[in-house]
Structure 1
């Protein structure tokens, strides 16, 4: 009798445990990332219906369109979003602040759409981000200084928008950034001399803005700089700093 009771109790415990494991494994994508993706979809207009399956199933296991996940679960037991590839989908609307909840994402690509509004400061929470690709939209407002604290950012492409205001000095913290594309906007003010501290910078594209003040001679200290585009701005003076002639790596000025 005692044995059968023990067997019965163990069976119940095992059944509850198995049900719990099944329930946990059923939520494949991190729940907060699922919520974030739904908020992102809700802030966009998708006239071609390319994101229609974002309302069904699980993002990672259900293969939501243009959502690329890591192929193994993390230590928390969930899959996480690695890339959002939403380029050239004829999207409009705005960028949701919930983008910041995708904190393990490496590539954020909204290139060549018609997205307006400002860049949410919460993008600065995506500490794994390597590529920030927002060029060719209708974005307005200023550059969030929080972007300057994304430690792994390799490429910033926000060209061909309507971004205004100054370049945040915090961008001088972007030690891994190689490509800095801000051309064809409405940026104003002085180029921060602090940008000369960027050890990895290869391309600095700031042409066709409303930048003013002087050209920082300190930019000549950038060790890997290949291309600088600064034309069609409102800089004072008519001469290029002589120190620019010392940039031995420079291919285009």
Structure 2
């Protein structure tokens, strides 16, 4: 699949997550994505009178909030050049109920208790291309589960604008470059997986000062330096640094492997912008 296909899908996911109330993707998805247990989602609050009147349900009992996404999804579907897993077959143009589409998840919108699209999960769909800088526009993004695809290019520093993100998983792709220093601005981040990519350079020590962090998976990359704050989290089993090129740590790549990688030309510049400073 070409870059345009993935770019279209990623922009769709950002649009949905930015436009809707995001109540968290199912805890099972978090376990699948990061292989780390998460707390079960809290029960929906009991119905209470709302000051604002609820919109009337549409024909067929489908929420108007869901119906408004139907034409957007179908438009993007028509732009997909390759669908190796047949995901798009579930996006039936004769079925306007997006709840039946694979990769989309719905929940109640609190203001009017209508069903709405609450999240997307494209893990393992084999989408290809870079992560666009426009991801930073999704200020309300809570979870980005982009692992097990064919993503390439550098990590954009705009990821650091996702101040509400709690889970960010891009493991098992082909991303490269250093970690942007803007990642230290992810104040609500709990789980970050960068494993199994081609990332390199120093791990920003300020990132390991994020108070809510319970998992930072750096494994199977080519990082060469790690600071004292991150070393503290290694001892606490929060940070996983195995399979890198960090002197003095166990379970690293061989010197020959590291030298071979470091000798190759690098195209990603250092990204020192810190939007929260």
- The answer, yes or no, to whether TM exceeds 0.5 is yes
- Whether the 8 Å contact between 2:84 and 2:126 is mirrored in structure 1 is no
Using structure 1 for the length normalisation, give the TM-score: 0.62
- Give the corresponding residue for 1:145: 157
Query: How far, CA to CA, are the matches of 2:221 and 2:85 in structure 1?
Result: 33
TM-superposed CA distance for 1:217, in Å, is 0.8
- Whether the 8 Å contact between 2:145 and 2:170 is mirrored in structure 1 is yes
SS of the equivalent of 2:136 reads helix
Inter-CA distance 30–124: structure 2 relative to 1 (3 Å threshold) = farther
From 192, 205, 224, the counterpart of 1:180? 192
Unmatched tracts of structure 1, length 5 or more: 1-20, 85-108, 241-253
Query: How far, CA to CA, are the matches of 1:22 and 1:215 in structure 2?
Result: 55
- The number of residue pairs the alignment matches comes to 193
Inter-CA distance 141–124: structure 2 relative to 1 (3 Å threshold) = same
- Give the corresponding residue for 2:107: 70
TM-superposed CA distance for 1:155, in Å, is 1.2
Greater RCO, 1 or 2 (C-alpha within 8 Å, sep 6+): 2
Query: How far, CA to CA, are the matches of 1:148 and 1:28 in structure 2?
Result: 33
1:167 has 2:179 as partner: yes
1:233 has 2:247 as partner: no
From 66, 71, 80, the counterpart of 1:43? 80
- Give the corresponding residue for 1:249: none
Query: How far, CA to CA, are the matches of 2:236 and 2:165 in structure 1?
Result: 17
State the 4+ residue runs in structure 1 displaced beyond 6 angstroms.
none
Spell out, residue by residue over 1:201-233, the C-alpha distance to the aligned partner (whole angstroms, 9 max, x if none): 111111111212x321132566x9543211222
- Give the corresponding residue for 1:103: none
CA RMSD, aligned part only?
3.5
SS of the equivalent of 1:46 reads coil
Unmatched tracts of structure 2, length 5 or more: 1-55, 251-277
- Whether the 8 Å contact between 1:167 and 1:191 is mirrored in structure 2 is yes
Query: How far, CA to CA, are the matches of 2:57 and 2:208 in structure 1?
Result: 54
